[in-house]
């Protein structure tokens, strides 16, 4: 390692074991900072929603408006993408949306850990969605669910290729769903850290560096704003794509 001021943009993703739980069955288990943040997010969301709605007032206050707004927003998204039938998945979509959104936003707090910047977390959430789609699709429609892979109105000689393409596109859904969220959070946080590192580096090199550091400072400010946008947008995109995939389970072979 080099001497001097070293900025390590990867360090923020480090998993720190808080309590080791031994190795049952050869796998290492521990209560980590990631787990602590997950429970923190759950507690934050739950207490916010219950605290905000404690008055149950007819004319909502600020917090209650926010809680109702999040409810209405997700509900309209579900209804718009998956129809009224999709409302049975509303608690799932709402949980996913609020979890991802809160995790992204908590991650924007300096020194906080970003849960969604870990591939295994986003992959687990995406797998949850896609397994829900597959299981519900087969339970509800039986083999008719496979019509999803057979687009209608395609010439017979093209059909095999189309089926292969559809299957591949279906299988790539959980991958793209998880990687999109993971890589967006990862790349954004690395970029912010790198530019923040430039500021430290430049200020270390004297008075001229202080003026030079103004540029990366503006960059960091802009990036922070962009990252807030990305944090909200990726949660929204995650929820919308979940709804679209659930719509496939509800109405296959459209």
Partner 1 sequence: MSEPHGPAGIIVAQASPGTLPAASGVEIAVPAAEAHGSNFPPFDVHTFPSQLLWLVIAFAALYLLMSRVALPRIATILEERHDRIADDIEEAGKLKAESEAAAEAYEKALASARTKAHGIATETRDTLAAEAETRRKSLEADLNVKLAAAEVQIAATKTAAMANVRGIAVEAAGTIVNTLIGTTPTSGAVEEAVDTAIKG
Partner 2 sequence: MEAEAAKFLGAGLATLGMGLAAIGVGTIFGNFLAGALRNPSAADGQFARAFIGAALAEGLGIFSLVVALVLLFVV
114: left (phi over 0), alpha (psi -120 to 50) or beta: beta
163 interacts with partner 2 by CB under 8 A: no
Using the rule CB under 8 A, give the single segment among 148-156, 161-169, 192-200, 239-247 that binds partner 1: 192-200
Q: For the packed helices 33-52 and 62-82, what is the interaxial angle rounded to 10 degrees? A: 110
Site for partner 2 in 72-131 (CB under 8 A): 77, 80
CA gap 168, 188 in Å, rounded: 29
Contact with partner 2 (CB under 8 A) among 184, 193, 235, 247: 184
Encoded tokens for 121 = 């977390």
**Binding of partner 1 at residue 10 (CB under 8 A)?**
yes
Pairwise CA distance, residues 240 & 178, whole Å: 14
Cβ count near 215 (within 10 Å): 13
Closer residue to partner 2 (CB): 140 or 180: 180
Q: Which stretch binds partner 1 (CB under 8 A): 77-85, 120-128, 135-143, 167-175?
A: 120-128
Closest CA to 126 of 165, 183, 167: 183
Q: Does 23 bind partner 2 (CB under 8 A)?
A: no
Q: Is 55 in the site for partner 2 (CB under 8 A)?
A: no
Show the binding pattern over residues 213-252: x = contacts partner 2 (CB under 8 A), - = does not: --------------------xx-xx--xx--x--------
Smallest distance, partner 2 to C-beta of residue 183, A: 4
Phi first, then psi: what are they for 21, rounded to 5°? -115, 20
Nearer to partner 1, 7 or 250 (CB): 7
Contact (CB, 8 A) for 209 and 199:
no
Q: Find which of partner 1, partner 2, none residue 208 binds, CB within 5 to 8 Å per kind.
A: none
Please tell me the distance from the alpha carbon of residue 144 to that of residue 252, in angstroms, as a whole number. Answer: 7
* 208/201 Cα distance (integer angstroms): 12
**DSSP letter, residue 110:** T
**Which residues, 32 to 71, sit near partner 1 by CB under 8 A?**
32, 34-35, 38-39, 41-42, 45-46, 49-50, 53, 56, 58, 60, 64, 67-68, 71
Nearer to partner 2, 42 or 123 (CB): 123
CA 39/CA 98 separation, integer angstroms: 13
Q: Total binding residues for partner 1 by CB under 8 A?
A: 71
Name the residue with tokens 């010439």: 155
Q: Can you give the binding site for partner 2, defined by CB under 8 A?
A: 77, 80, 176, 179-180, 183-184, 186-187, 233-234, 236-237, 240-241, 244
């Amino acid at each position: 390692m080099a001497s001097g001021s070293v900025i390590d943009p990867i360090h923020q993703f480090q998993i720190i074991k808080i309590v080791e739980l031994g190795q049952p069955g050869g796998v290492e288990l521990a209560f980590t900072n990631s787990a602590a943040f997950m429970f923190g997010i759950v507690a934050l969301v739950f207490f916010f929603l219950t605290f905000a709605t404690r008055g149950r007032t007819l004319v909502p206050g600020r917090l209650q408006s926010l809680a109702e707004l999040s409810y209405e927003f997700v509900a309209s998204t579900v209804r718009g993408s998956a129809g009224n039938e999709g409302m049975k998945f509303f608690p799932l979509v709402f949980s996913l949306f609020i979890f991802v959104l809160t995790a992204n936003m908590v991650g924007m707090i300096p020194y906080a850990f970003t849960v969604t910047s870990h591939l295994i977390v986003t992959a687990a959430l995406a797998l949850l969605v896609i397994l829900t789609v597959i299981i519900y699709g087969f339970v509800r429609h039986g083999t008719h669910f496979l019509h999803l892979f057979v687009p209608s109105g395609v010439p017979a000689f093209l059909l095999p290729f189309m089926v292969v393409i559809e299957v591949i596109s279906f299988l790539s859904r959980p991958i793209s769903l998880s990687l999109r969220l993971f890589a967006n959070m990862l790349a954004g946080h690395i970029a912010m850290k790198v530019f923040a590192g430039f500021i430290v580096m430049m200020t270390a090199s004297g008075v001229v560096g202080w003026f030079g550091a103004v540029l990366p400072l503006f960059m960091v400010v802009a990036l922070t704003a962009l990252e807030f946008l990305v944090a909200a947008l990726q949660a929204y995109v995650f929820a919308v794509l979940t709804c679209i995939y659930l719509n496939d389970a509800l109405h296959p072979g459209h």
